[in-house]
């Protein structure tokens, strides 16, 4: 309890922080932190951004872990049915987003949760943070028409960047993501998972995907690159 109160006091000191809105990233590599070890690797990692998966950590991180990364941060708190690691009540997720907002440059909220987290999205935008709205399909590749509808709904709800991750089992699946990226109304982060996941991530990053994710401490889904290896390959491509 004392640790929780101390963290809350530290967070409250920063609660009124407002920042000039960060420019939208362009073909940036994101290293995802899934474990406490990831915070040790992140400061020296040769990546542009880091994502903190609070829902996968054994406990909520102390603020100094976030500030110690020394890179722009994306805060993600997934529900269990969205691929998260914890069965978190919606109000708990809201509290976590609000608590850590002063220490990050962007929030990631699943598209299906945008309405439930409407107050968090509004707070993020008011304080100059970016809002990433994510859609994941772990079973296959949605149609281009469906992706366009998801994109519109997300932007109508306040998304600055729409992130789409879906299974790329065949070249036609990669083509769907390329078409989606090419015709999107705003910034998109597009990536494949599965058999052609790695190949798709290289292609989509070079084609203009705004955020391109890899792992820092451990892989989370099939088809991911280690983040620094990914960044090095993109520089050579």
pLDDT tens digit string along 52-63? Answer: 999 999 999 999
Q: pLDDT at position 24, please?
A: 77
Does 3 reside within a domain?
no
Query: In this structure, how many other beta carbons lie within 10 angstroms of the beta carbon of residue 211?
Result: 27
Does 13 reside within a domain?
no
Sheet of 211-215, strands arranged across: 187-193, 161-167, 130-137, 106-110, 73-76, 49-53, 28-33, 211-215, 225-226
CA pair distance 141, 192, nearest whole angstrom = 9
Condensed to tens digits (0 to 9), the pLDDT of residues 197-234 reads 999 999 999 999 999 999 999 888 889 999 999 999 99
Condensed to tens digits (0 to 9), the pLDDT of residues 148-171 reads 999 999 999 999 999 999 999 999
Does 12 reside within a domain?
no
What is the domain extent for residue 77? 25-236
Question: Hey, which residues are catalytic here?
Answer: 136, 163
Please give the structure tokens belonging to residue 135.
């859609």
DSSP string, 48-113: SEEEEEGGGSSSPPPHHHHHTT-S-EEEE---GGGT-SS---HHHHHHHHHHHGGG-SEEEEEGGG
**Nearest-CA neighbor of 157 among 121, 130, 128?**
121
CATH number assigned to the domain comprising residue 204: 3.20.20.70
**What separation, in Å, do the N-terminal and C-terminal C-alpha atoms of the chain show?**
50
Does 82 reside within a domain?
yes
Does 150 reside within a domain?
yes
Does 5 reside within a domain?
no
* Domains in the chain, number: 1
**Across-strand partners of 136?**
165
The average confidence (pLDDT) of the chain is: 91
Does 144 reside within a domain?
yes
CA pair distance 32, 16, nearest whole angstrom = 27
Does 10 reside within a domain?
no
Q: Is the dihedral of CA 5, 7, 9, 15 positive or negative?
A: negative
Residue 7 pLDDT grade (very low, low, confident, very high; cuts 50, 70, 90): low
Whole-number percent of the chain with pLDDT over 90: 80
Q: Is the pLDDT of residue 172 over 50?
A: yes
């Amino acid at each position: 309890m004392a640790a929780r109160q101390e963290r809350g006091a530290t967070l409250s000191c920063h609660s009124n922080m407002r920042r000039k809105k960060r420019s939208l990233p362009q073909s940036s590599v994101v290293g995802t932190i899934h474990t406490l070890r990831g915070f040790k690797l992140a400061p020296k990692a040769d990546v542009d951004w880091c994502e903190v998966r609070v829902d996968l950590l054994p406990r909520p991180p102390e603020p100094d872990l976030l500030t110690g990364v020394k890179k722009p941060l994306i805060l993600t708190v997934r529900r269990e049915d969205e691929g998260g690691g914890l069965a978190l009540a919606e109000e708990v997720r809201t509290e976590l987003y609000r608590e850590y907002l002063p220490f990050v440059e962007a929030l990631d909220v699943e598209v299906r949760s945008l309405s439930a987290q409407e107050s968090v999205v509004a707070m993020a935008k008011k304080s100059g943070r970016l809002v990433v709205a994510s859609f994941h399909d772990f079973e296959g590749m949605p149609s281009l028409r469906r992706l366009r509808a998801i994109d519109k709904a997300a932007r109508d709800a306040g998304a600055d960047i729409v992130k789409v991750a879906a299974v790329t089992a065949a070249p036609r699946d990669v083509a769907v993501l390329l078409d989606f990226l090419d015709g999107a109304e705003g910034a998109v982060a597009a990536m494949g998972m599965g058999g052609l996941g790695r190949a798709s991530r290289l292609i989509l990053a070079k084609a203009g995907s705004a955020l391109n994710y890899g792992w820092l401490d451990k892989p989370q889904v099939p088809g991911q690159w280690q983040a620094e290896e990914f960044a090095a390959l993109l520089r050579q491509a």
